[in-house]
Every structure is written in structure tokens, then in C-alpha cells.
Structure 1
Amino acid sequence: MDITWMSTLLLALIISSILYSSWNAMYRRRSLPPGPTPLPIVGNVLQIRRGKLVQSLMEFAKKYGPVYTVYFGHNPIVVLSGYDIVKEALVDRGEEFGGRGRVPGFDDFFRGQGIVFSNGELWKDLRRFSLTMLRNFGMGKKSIEERIQEEAGFLVTEIKSLKEKSIDPTNLLVQAVSNVICSIVFGNRFEYDDQKFRELLNLFAATFKDVSGSWGQLQEMLPEIMYYIPGPHQRVNRHLDKLRKFILERVKINQETLDPNCPRDYIDCFLTKQQQETGNSHFDTRNMMLTILNLFFAGTETVSSTLRHGFLILLRYPEIQDKVREEIDRVIGQNRIPNIEDRSKMPYTDAVIYEIQRFSDILPVNVAHVVTKDTNFKGYNIPKGTDVYPLLCSVHRDPKKFATPNKFNPQHFLDSNGCFKKNEGFMPFSAGKRICVGEALARMELFLFLTTSLQNFKLTSKTKFMDEDIEPRLAGFANVPRFYEMSFIPRVL
């Protein structure tokens, strides 16, 4: 019996050794960039610290260089690190690196549709249409500025009703930011106490949390295995399906009252486009719903999370908060609401907002790219269809571009005279062909919501925050801010 058991174990070890040797030889024959040696089946997953995917990828870059390969299961991922490398790939060679790669947390639901996860002509059509429609509804124009100003006013009123109560600001900020995109997509905003609206926003938050958590990171690395394993990652599709049904209800309402000559919102524009291009499947109902979902994620969670990070940072550094408020009082005063033209006269405030975006790194890994053809990059041959991770966090922490990359420092965006200066290492919206379609909208929201809040309130907290409290966790797909509570104290002038 013992001899049989020993023989079986020996045979298993011999087979494992042969498999590993064969895999290792096959792996090393590839002309991909170097990286940690993968194991059969699991690749490099065991070398990535649990729940710390992004930190592990950054550490690999220090060991293997700015261009390296990591294996998630049997799939190679080429990782790009640092400003020079990421800029060359996404901007200088944007055609080759401009495809959308695999995003296992979302791929099963989106299946290559919608503006974010599509490729080829479908992506071009949806992006072109969405940019045009967003501009028509005011993105970068006065009308959208007025919508944001109006919503900022509602936010101030809601905060005043709290009477300096200590709160978690998450819901307030998510509701305010989401109402802007709601006004564009649905043609109306929601009251903050609207239960259905709150349920909708909770679904967005839950999706981000489940995709970015430890289980979501494992799904990113081992999708074929995690598909069969129960856990929080399995809830993502259910969240997304509930969101899809909500959007479908709104689409049906618009269909019943549609006037192609007088579009009220993005949905009306898409429905009209459907009628005009009946033979073009790119503008079917599913692509409409998924594109709207994309717009909501891009226009709600990312901006509201940036504001939450921003408020936390200003609580940590009250002297910076005071300096921003001084500039608000000097340029805007108290007798009118902020407008986007004020930004050019407020270099310090502008620098603080840019630094909040850089430091908070909402999407540290970017959304996965893929090379669209066989590509030679930095002496390595990358086959068509290989996924690429351009680490935006590595750009934002590149010491060649930022003097104190791991510290919050508005001077990164100010010259010696205190004037605002651009920094090429600023890429929170990505870069190149896949740069965020809502960049102009997000920039406007961040300025108007932040300045309106500080014009009316002093931000305080019972907690004394330290530097480690404001550091982004750099864990998974998105940087969700830490939980904290704060109070808004009305200013007395």
C-alpha cells in the first residue's frame, strides 16, 4: 500500500516536472518582454499579493523594467510603466495600442458592446456619435455649465439642511454628480430623497466595490477559473442587469413620446439615430443601453470619487483649504456663483484640483488596451491581440515629472511665479485614441462643485487625519476612497 502511494506520488512529481519544464521552455521562447516566470495554469497569480494587484504590478516594474510581461493564467499581459513608455504607446503609437483589451469583471456582461468595451468600427461610430451628442447638450458650452451650477446649488441647500452634522459625504457627492449626467441622458434630475435614485446609485457603488475588491482582482487574473467559483465577484452581472432594466424603462418612456425634431436628451438622439440608420446594427437598443451605462460609470463614480478624495485631502491639509478659499473670495467673492471662466484667474485652485486627480489615481491601471496588430515595441515583438496594461499610476508617480511623486503637492502644477503650468505626466483621463469621452464635462464638474462647496462651507472633521489616511490604496480596478466622516460648517462673513 505504501509502495503504491509512493509510486503514485513519484509519478505525479515526474509529470509535474515535465509539464513545468515544457511550459518554461515554451514561455522563454516567446519574444515578449521579460517578467516573472509563470507557472502552468495560474501564471504569475501566486506572485501577486492578495488584494494588492496594482502595488504588485508597480513592484514588478522596479525589478523587470518599464516594459515587462506578467501572466494571468495562460494569458500574457504586457505592462507599461512610467511616463515615457506609456506616452509612446498610447499617444505616439496610438493606432497600434488603441484597442480595448479584456476586462473580465465586465466582459461577460458587455460582450464587446457599448462605447468603452467595443473595438473597430462599432467603437468609432459610438464614440463619434456620443461626442457629438454630448457637445450638442452642452459639454464644454454654457448650457451644461448652468446645469452643473444649478446642481451645485441644490447640493449646498442639502448640506445646509444637515446643520453641521458629521456625515459620510459619499451619498451627497454621488447624487450631485450623477444628476448632471442624468440631466443629459434622461432630460431630468432626481431629488436627493428619491428612493429609486438612491437604489440606482447604490448599484453603481456596489459594482465598483465588487470589481475592485480581492475577489474581483482574482477574477481579473483567473477569469476561466473564477467563473465557476462563488463569491462577491459573481454579483457584478446582477448589479449591471438591474441597471440595464432601469435604463430600458426610461428608453421605453422616451420611445412613446419621441419627437425626432425636438430631442430632449441623449436617449432621444439615439432613438432618432436608430430610425435614420435602420441597417446599421451599431445603433441597436443594446448598444444604446450599454453606452448609457458606460456614460454613467464614467460620469458618476469617477468624478464623485475624486471629490471624496479631494475633501479628505483638504481635511488633512487645512492650510491648503484656506488658501483655496482665499482665492475664491478674491476672484469670485460671495455675491455670485462660480463659473468656469473663473478657473483661468485661479491658478492655485486649478493646481489643487489637478493634484487631487493625480494623487488620488481613480483608475490606476487604466482600462486594459490591446495591440491591434503584430507590434515591435522597445525591441520586443508583441503579437496582435495581446492585452496591454498602461499603468497610469506609474505616470502619476514618475519622479521625472513630479518632484515629490508620493506626496500631495499642488506645486507640481505651479511655476515659480505662482502661475498654473501644465504637466505632461497628468493622465487621469488616459491619453491618445482612448482618452475619456467625458473629460471636458468631468473637468468642469470638479471645478464648479469644489469651488461652490468651499465658497459656502469650511470642511472639518472630528478625526485628525495623517498622510497615510489620504494615500490611495492602489489595489484593483478603481481606487475607492477610504471611509471617513466630516462636517460642513457654513461660513460667516
Structure 2
Amino acid sequence: MDITLTLTNVLYVVTAGLVLLLLWKSQRKQSSIGQLPPGPTPYPLLGNILQIDVKEPYKYYLKLSKKYGSVFTIWLANSPVVIISGYQALKDTMIGLGEEFSGRATYPLLMKITLGYGVLSTSGHHWKEMRRFTLMTLKYFGMVRRSIEERVREEAEKLVEMFKKCKGSAFSPADMLSNTMANVICSIVFGQRFEFEDPQFKFLLQTVNSVFTVLNSPIGQIYNVFSKLVSLFPGKHHLLFRDVDKAREYCKRQAKARINNVDPSCPQDLIDAFVELLGCRWSISEKRCICCIWHGCV
């Protein structure tokens, strides 16, 4: 009994010590950030998370803007977030100071999915380089190869055929429209369209949908704040990471199959263009290329 009591007391002391240490580190970090716009007082460790309406956060931000002005600060755990509210404040910031605010925040969940590559989730030199290459490639496809307009027209004709098959009965066009748009993208990235019942096509589409679902879900928001902690627990975020890895592997197989078969003067799709761009640097930049091909699908 004495040993049990002693161990319990030691556990209490250690727990209390850890809590005090975390509180001290939290306060130290907040005080070391520098001069930030005013805002509600954050709780230790959690910041203002408990005060935010997860479903309708804009209502909470609107309330704060009336109290603290058009520019204010909230804390998500130990991370400060400056909120800009109102037309004039946004105009002054995004137009008047556009260069200073042209970067993108690095969210842990998005970084886990993109590995820091692509066009939509990056900024700076890498973003400019990839954007320039992507625009040049798309322009080439539009002028020299079968135009993107023709790809869209082909998918639109197949969509109309599917609509005709539903004549006389009510139906939801959501999946048909989603599949049609996805096939246009696939024809540009992979150089081929898929049948809607193709298992690989279904998997790619499901994975892309899962990315946006998890990003906008409560678990996605919590992951961005406590990424290391949330990674220790099971959840749909782990299923997403597994599916994203499988999608990258598919893109990798597609790219490797083209390495020795690309016509430098006539790339057929985005993968051909990437492989031709890298050339002998493929082994060095393979990871980057695969991620960029995958993000072409997203």
C-alpha cells in the first residue's frame, strides 16, 4: 500500500511539473512573438480554440472585429493568427501590400499531403517555377496538340449520352458531372480518359475528394494545431495518408513507364512534359516530379 501511495504521489508531482512546464513555455512563446494586433486573451496551451464556433467561425470573427477593430489576433494553441476583416482593410492589405502578403501559410496537414510541392500549396521561387512550366505546357497542348477544348467537348458528349439514358426518371447529376470534370483533368495529366467504372479512376477520384473532406473537417483543423499529438491516434486522417501514398505510387508507375519513350518534340500529356523537363535529373528530382503530377490531379 505504501509503495502504491508513493508511486501515485510521484505521478501527481510529475504531471503537475509537466503542466507547469508547458504553461511556462506557452507564455514565453506568446511574449516572444513581438507586437501583435489586439485580440482576446488566450488560454494557456489551447489559445482561443475553445471560444471559436467550429461550424460558423466567421460569426465569432465578426464579433471580435466589432470589439478590436478590423485587424486583430487570435491564438490557435501556441500559434498566433492575425485576422483581417472588412473591405477597406482587405483592400489595403491585399492590394496595397500585395507583395508582402503573397505567400501561403504552411499547414501541417497540407504539407503532409503535398510534401511541399505543387502549385496550389506552395509559394516563392518554387511556386513561380512550377506555375511558369504548367502554363507553358497547357499553352502548348492548346496550340499544338489536341486542344483542351476538344477534350472538354468529348467528355460533354459522353455526359449528354448518360443524361439521355436517364430519360423519364429523376436522377442526381452530381457524380456524372464530377466524373466528367475529373476525366478532362486525367486526359491532360495522363493522356487518357477513364471509363467511369474503372477501379483506378474511382480510387483517384475518391482520394481527391477525401483530401478536401479531411482538410475541412474538425479532425483536419485539430491536426493543423496538434499535428504530432493527433498523429498518435487512429482516425480518417491516417486512411487519407495511406490513400495519398497509393495515388503517388500510381503516378510514379505512370511516369517511369515514359522515361525511355518520350518524344522530346511532341509530349503527349503533362507526365511526358515533366519527364522531358527533368531528363537526366530524373533520379534527383523524382520525388518532386511525382508530387507535382499527383497535384495536377488535385
TM-score by length of 1: 0.52
Displacement of 1:116 = 2.7
> Which secondary structure does the structure 1 equivalent of 2:139 belong to?
helix
Amino acid at match of 1:237: F
Q: What residue in structure 1 maps to residue 270 of structure 2?
A: 266
Paired with 1:267 and 1:206, the residues of 2 have a C-alpha distance of: 23
- Secondary structure of the residue aligned to 1:68 is strand
Match of 2:91 in 1: 87
2:151 matches 1:150: no
Deviation of the 1:26 alpha carbon: 5.0
1:46-84 Cα deviation digits (max 9, x unpaired): 112244445544544444333221212111112223333
Q: Would you say the 8 A contact 2:108–2:223 is kept in 1?
A: yes
What residue identity is the alignment partner of 2:241? N
Aligned to 1:135: 139
Please name the residue that 1:163 is paired with. 167
2:294 corresponds in structure 1 to: 293
Instruction: Specify every segment of 5 or more residues in structure 1 that has no aligned partner in the other structure, as ranges.
Output: 298-493
What percent of counterpart residues are identical? 35
The alignment partner of 1:70 has SS state of strand
Q: 1:274 to 1:78 in 2, by over 3 A?
A: same
Per-residue deviation at 1:29? Answer: 8.1
Question: How far is 1:190 from its partner?
Answer: 1.5
AA aligned to 2:293 is: I
- The yes-or-no answer on 1:200 pairing with 2:204 is yes
How far, CA to CA, are the matches of 2:56 and 2:247 in structure 1?
28
Name the amino acid aligned to 1:44: N
- Is the alpha carbon distance of 1:23 and 1:168 closer, same or farther for their aligned partners in structure 2, counting shifts above 3 Å? same
- TM-align CA RMSD: 3.5
Counterpart of 1:254 in structure 2: which amino acid?
A: R
1:211 to 195, 211, 215: 215
- Determine if the alignment matches structure 1 residue 230 to structure 2 residue 234: yes
Q: Kindly indicate whether the alpha-carbon contact (under 8 Å) linking 1:155 and 1:176 is maintained by their aligned counterparts in 2.
A: yes
Cα distance in 1 for partners of 2:261, 2:282 equals 23
What's the offset of the Cα at 1:265?
Answer: 0.8
Task: Give the secondary structure class of the aligned counterpart of 1:167.
Answer: coil
**Counterpart-to-counterpart distance in 2, 1:60 and 1:222:** 24
Which structure has more relative contact order (CA 8 Å, sep 6+)? It is: 1
Which residue matches 2:194?
190
Give 1:188 deviation, angstroms: 1.7
Runs of 4+ in 1 over 6 A off after TM superposition: none
- 1:35 matched residue in structure 2: 39
Name the aligned partner's letter for residue 260 of structure 1: P
Task: Give the secondary structure class of the aligned counterpart of 1:78.
Answer: strand
| Structure 2 residue 182 is matched with structure 1 residue 178 | yes
What SS class does the counterpart of residue 98 from structure 2 fall into?
A: coil
CA displacement, residues 31-51 of structure 1 (integer Å, 9 cap, x when unaligned): 111222112222111112244
Give the superposition deviation at 1:23.
Answer: 2.4
Q: How far, CA to CA, are the matches of 1:51 and 1:262 in structure 2? A: 49
CA distance in 2 between partners of 1:262 and 1:202 (Å): 32
Q: Is the CA contact (8 Å cut-off) linking 1:137 and 1:143 kept in structure 2?
A: yes
Is the Cα–Cα contact under 8 Å of residues 23 and 45 in structure 2 kept in the other structure?
Answer: no
Distance 1:35 1:109 in 2: 32
Amino acid across the alignment from 1:287:
R
Partners of 2:269 and 2:75 in 1: CA distance: 44
Shift of 1:108: 2.2
Q: Tell me which residue corresponds to 2:252.
A: 248
Partner Cα distance (1:142, 1:55) in 2: 48
1:211 and 1:236 in contact (8 A); partners too:
no
Question: Deviation string for 1:198-245 (max 9, x for gaps)?
Answer: 221111112221221121121123324323232223322112112212
Kindly indicate whether residue 151 of structure 2 is the aligned counterpart of residue 113 of structure 1: no
Per mean C-alpha deviation after superposition, the further-off stretch among 127-136 and 160-169 is 160-169
Q: Are 1:53 and 1:217, in contact at CA under 8 Å, matched by a contact in 2? A: no
Instruction: Read off the aligned partner of 1:171 and give its amino acid letter.
Output: D
Supply the distance in 1 between the matched residues of 2:29 and 2:76 (Cα, whole angstroms).
Answer: 18
